[in-house]
Amino acid sequence: MQTTQILRWIRARLLSDATIVSLIGDESRIQSEEAPEDVVFPYILISVVSPPLPNYTVAARAVTNDAVYLIRGIIRDDSYGNTIKNNQLETIANRILALFHNPGINLTYNIHSCVLDQEYVLTEPPRNDTQYRHLGGRFRISTQAP
């Protein structure tokens, strides 16, 4: 299934980066779709925005699939102006953008291209005097059709 193959590529790419690993710790802090309640901050969340959709030739043969994934860092912030945590989140987001915008072809995972579709910024409304901040990007990923 191409969705899980793309997720494996994203995880492998994140874990191969020494800066990301030093900022988030171990691979348990890279989550897909939803993080458990006891997740340790900061962490990275990967979400499928649009699953792989085939691009057809005139002969109705699928050649590539395009998917959109949201990859973002998330921190828990107890005060609005916590510069250290915000700088940490910005560093995580900048590494995500550097890793996934135009990384080249990856034949192991059949990735043909990956480009930044849109930067992503979200500050959730406070809950119990705690805010959660998200920073990252939406990426359009093209894979070879099976």
> Mean pLDDT, the chain, as a whole number?
88
80 pLDDT more than 60: no
pTM over 0.75: yes
Containing domain of residue 134, as a range? 2-144
Angstrom distances, CA of residue 119 to CA of 3, 39, 105, 139: 21, 24, 22, 9
- The enclosing domain of 81 has a CATH number of 3.30.70
- Phi, psi dihedral angles at 38 (to 5 degrees): -95, 20
Q: Provide the pLDDT for residue 109.
A: 81
Could you report the per-residue pLDDT of 93-117, keeping only the tens digit for each?
999 999 999 888 787 888 889 999 9
79 pLDDT more than 60: no
Q: What total of structural domains would you count in the chain?
A: 1
> Which residue type does 58 have?
V
**What tokens does 43 get?**
């962490």
